[in-house]
Structures are given as C-alpha cells and as structure tokens.
Structure 1
Amino acid sequence: MDRADLPTPVLILDRAAMDRNIAAMAGFAAARGLALRPHAKTHKSAEIARRQISAGAAGICCAKLAEAEALAAEGITDIHLTSPVVRPDAIARLVALNGRIALSLVADHPENVAALARAATRPLTVFIDVDPGAHRTGVASPEAALALADAIAAEPNLRLGGVQYYCGSQQHIESRADRFAAVERLTAYLASVLDMLKTAGHAIPIVTGAGTGTFAIDAELGVLTELQCGSYIFLDREYEDCELTGGGAPVFERALFLDATVISANHATHVTLDAGLKAMATDAGPPRPIRPGATYRFTGDEHGALIADSLPKLGERVTLQPPHCDPTVNLHDAYRVVEGDRVVDCWTITARGRGT
C-alpha cells in the first residue's frame, strides 16, 4: 500500500536508512577492534535485533528482564541485561532464561550477588555495574567494586563477566568538545576502578558501555571494549541536535518518523494534528516537523499544533521526527516499514510494554 493510505498517527520506519545506520556502526566498531552489543531498549524489535546481529553485533542489550524474555522467544540468543534483577520472582525467571540462551546481567550489591548465587542452577555471568556519578545504579567506589568482584568470584555458580559503565547523562551534551571533556574525566575514574580490580587479581574480559552520544569518544579513549549504542539506528531529534561527528564517527540518517494528519485548520497561525501526548514521548521536548520553518507544540493527549507561515491544508499529512525514540516506540504496536512512499512490511514491536 502507499504510505499516504496509512491511518494516522502512525510510526514509520525507513528500512534502507536504518540498514545503512546499522552497517555504519558495525563498520566503526569492527575497524577499531571493539565488540558491538546494541541496546534493544531503543527498538524492542526481534526483527531489528536480527538485522544488527547479522551485521556483526555480538548480541544485544535489554534494560528489563521481560524485554529479554520477549526477544529470546523470537530467537535472540545472546542478551545482556543492563539493570539489576533483585526480586525473587524475577530471579527465578532469570535463572530459567539463563538455561535457554547466553545471558549476562549486572549487579551492584553483595546481597543481590548472594541471591543470584543461591538461585543459579548453571553458571551465570555477572558484570559489576559501576556508577559514573549519576547515582542511579552501580557501585559507588572502587573499593565497593572490588568487594563485589570478590563476592562474585567466591560463588561457584557465578562468573565475573566484566564491568559495565554507562554515562547516561553525558550522551546528550550538544557540544562534542564539552561531551569529550566530561567523558574523559569519567573514564579516568573508570580506569582507577579497573586498576584496583586487576591489581587484586580479577580478570576483566569485557568493559561495556557507551551510547550514541559518546561511542566515538569512548573508542578514542580506549578503555571500553564493547559498545552498547542504541538510538543510532533511528537518529531521533534529541540526538540530531548533538554534534555526533568527529573521531571518525559515521554520519547517521533519520530513519524513524511519525506521520500525522491535519484535522482542524481554522486559524491563521496554526493547524491541529491528530498526534499528541499518546503518540510521542514528551521528556525531550517537541518533535521536529519535516517541513521548512514549521514548529510543533503539544496541545493534549490526542492533538498537537503545527505552527508555520505556510500552513498545510485540512486533511494534509505532516511528518514528524520523534523527540526521543525509545519511549516513543513503546507507545506503538508496530513499525510500518517503508521504501520511499511505499509500505513494504509491518514489524511488531516485540517487547512493547515489557517493563518487569
């Protein structure tokens, strides 16, 4: 069918642009001897995960256990969980999943390590999550990292997989120079943690982290061995506003869009679209209209205002670039996959709403 015949609001995926983004990141990592493990919290799609792995990714990351379960059920067999799993019911699910796929996860507390060890029925790979200063998850000092490494090493059913270090709040610093300075300072701290672990005799085979905003910087600094970038496949408005080039970083393309329709056109300053708070995440501000000189303003659950000197007419379609792709994707059931203006496929968003 034609893209213009899709009901709106509708999530649109440009397959060719996304595939070029996947290939560009895979090539970047391979050229620098780095493993690539893209974060599936961005797309939540088994089809996209398969395309990333086919392009050379070592596996994928998931933020939540339920995401991993959903993707594993669709044949994804190498998954790293980037958040701790602590509830007894969730640990039981984790142990069951570990019996079916290659699975790893992070921990940041000795009590969690002990609970994982008690439940494990076969070797379970655990990474030490190190807090870069966000105070979200992760051990808070090199000494705490060493104590956790000792606790993991003491358990026969656990294996120390390495260290995770994700500088989330630094990903969207718009200036590359400012972003580089921030990540360089934080990486020096990570190096001190790794030095303490290695001096104590712990092998750290993998140091995983990075994101779309910092992957080229992390590659240049040379401490991480694995990249967890996610949003590069779509290039949402929030990342497009950042200076991502430099350090040999590839140029990514817009690949994810939201099509909306003008449903009211009674004012000289704006028209009303049928896409509002229920169609897009709002944490990163408004979307970017793919229309010269136009801006968008949220006006309610179902509606948004398009403001421009040259306004579209009643019934006309408007394309928007989502502000923050991860939570926007979580609001939709499927991607309508296009080549040009032709709809060529529909991909279920496999792990939509899997937040447990």
Structure 2
Amino acid sequence: MNELKVRLPQSSVSYEIKIEKGLLQKVGKEVAQLTKSRRVAVITDRNVDSYYGARVEQQLADEGFEVSMIVLQPGEQTKTFSMMPLIFSQLIEAGLTRSDVIVALGGGVIGDIAGFAASSYLRGIDLVQIPTSLLAQVDSSVGGKVGVDLPEGKNLVGAFYHPTQVIIDPEVLNTLTDHYFADGMAEVIKYGCIWDAAFFDSLSKLESRDAVMTEIEWIIARCCDIKREVVEQDEKDKGMRMLLNFGHTLGHAIEAYYHYENITHGHAVAIGMATLTEISEARQLTEAGTADQIRHVLKMHQLPSELEDPKAYNDILSFVSKDKKQLNNQLHVVLLNSIGSAATHQTDVSFFESLRTGGQDH
C-alpha cells in the first residue's frame, strides 16, 4: 500500500467589518477596492430590493460594475436547498466567473443563502455581506457560517465561508418593523448573557427602540467584536464558538416545529434563552435570579420569554434531537453560570423533559 500525506498551510482568513451610518452610499467604492473584476451579482429579497436595490445597483454601476440583480422571495421559506439550482442558473446567465463577486444584500436569510451560493458556485467566489437587518448586522453576517435549511431542520446543509468584507450601515434599520428590530435585539441580548455582564446591564437601561438607535453603532460594534473574538479562537464550532448558540438549541426546534412561519428566529431564541435558564436554575447549574434578569430585558425589548402554547413542547422536543450541535451523540447546550459567563453542558434531550409537563413554572 502506498501512503501519501497532504499537508496544507493553515488557511489565513482576514476581512474588515465596516460600521458607519450612511455607508450604503459608498458601496460601489468599497466593493471596487476589493476586486479588479467589474462584474457583480447582488442577491437580495423583494422587500430589501424595494428599499435599497436600486440604490446599491446604481452605486456599483457608477464604479463601472456590470450588475445582475437576483431577487428572491422574502422569508425563511426561501432558504432551502431546492432554491440553489435556480440561483446557480441565474449566476451562470449573468456570466459570473471565479474572479467576480457576489453581494449579499439583506437579512440573515439572504446572507446565508447568498453565502452558500458563493461558497459552492465554481467552488467558491468572493462574497461581500451587506446585512440590512439588526440580526444579520450583529450576528449572522460575521463569522463565515452560510447554509440552507432542510425539511428536517435548520441550517443542516452549509459551509464555513468567510466574506471578503462586511459593510454595515445602521441607517437601514430604520425601515425594519418593530417585530424584526426586536428579532435582532434577541441576538444582541445573547452577547451580553454569554460574554459581557456590563454590556447586558447597558441594554437593560435602553428602554426603547429609539434609545437603542442612539447607541446603535456602539452596540453593533460590541456584538461584532465579541463574535470576532470567539470565531478567531474556534472557527469550526467545536468548542468556544458553541457559546454563540445560547438559546438556539431550543429556539431552532421551536422554529422548525412552526415551519419557520409563526415564530421568527429572534423570538424563538428569546424563548430558548429564558426557558433554558429556568431549567438550569432549577438544576442549580445557574445562579438564582438569572432567568428573571433575562426575562426583564427581553420584555423591555418587546421579546417573549415563554411559548404561548406550552403543550407544543411535547412535539417540539423531537426537533431538539436533530440539532446539528450534537457531537458524539451528545447534545451540547449552552448554559449560563451567571450573566456574562457561559459554558457548554453535555447532555441529551432528557434535559428538556420538564417542558413536557406543560412548560415553565413561575
């Protein structure tokens, strides 16, 4: 038998995250600095396109880019594997080559599906993330996770594929509904819960969306910086990066149970964070009173802390067992020691068994 060993140098990845009000007006110049190519495909959804599509297209055209707009239906239901051939066909029709660029203009769904397209089309072409939702700006556009959903669960097919740049303009958040602004705040609150008690405390003092917007550049930058620090230490999600999944094991199961329709991501994660912390408090794994602190901040930012129909947990828990965060048949749930301090806890679905009786006790 001949045995050969392939040794590759550790791939070095670095990219800038630019955060500035009004940055959308400079998109063309920003992208032009990243590439010698002058062909770009912008993947977006119908809602975002109606607000910002023409502006971004014009900015790119002004810098000499030949621009193809690929406009998808909005919503999680679009982020499916069956959507990929349609996107690939449009990229081929647009004449995109390996030296060209895909721009993801939209929220988390667009960032994920456009990123997955960029990672796999021609085995990978340059990607620029322009997140337009708070959730995408503070979380999903940074860190290189891209992918699509399967009927069996969320994000079960995907890749680690980093953008060449992330362009964040907080002013685009003004067109978000209160519901989707709150969706993003769930991820903001998550960062305080797992990493930074002082940041969590600051969020508990911002009593309205307007108050948040006065501090928005700092809030986005703090979240991105925490995520940067975590991802640099654990890119492939085998250790510390799992902390970013606080509330997500149960949250993703809730989303899947409701077919990604009735409860959006941030609202599901909010319920997951509060519910999980109640369970871990009851097991004396988390400092007493932590769940109350989380519920207080969630309520302040228009987020739920419990499921309207606790009986649904009997069916929701079957989705937990399909969670992709299982390693070696163990479920790794993220628990708080206290606000600002988190750790992964090896367990199985039985950890959530108390929910089958009808949900949380207050």
TM-score of the two chains, using structure 2 as the length reference: 0.31
Higher relative contact order at CA 8 Å, sep ≥6: structure 1 or structure 2?
1
Q: Which entry has the higher C-alpha Rg, 1 or 2?
A: 1
Q: Larger % of strand: which? A: 1
Q: In proportion to residue count, which structure has more helix? A: 2
TM-score (norm: length of structure 1): 0.31
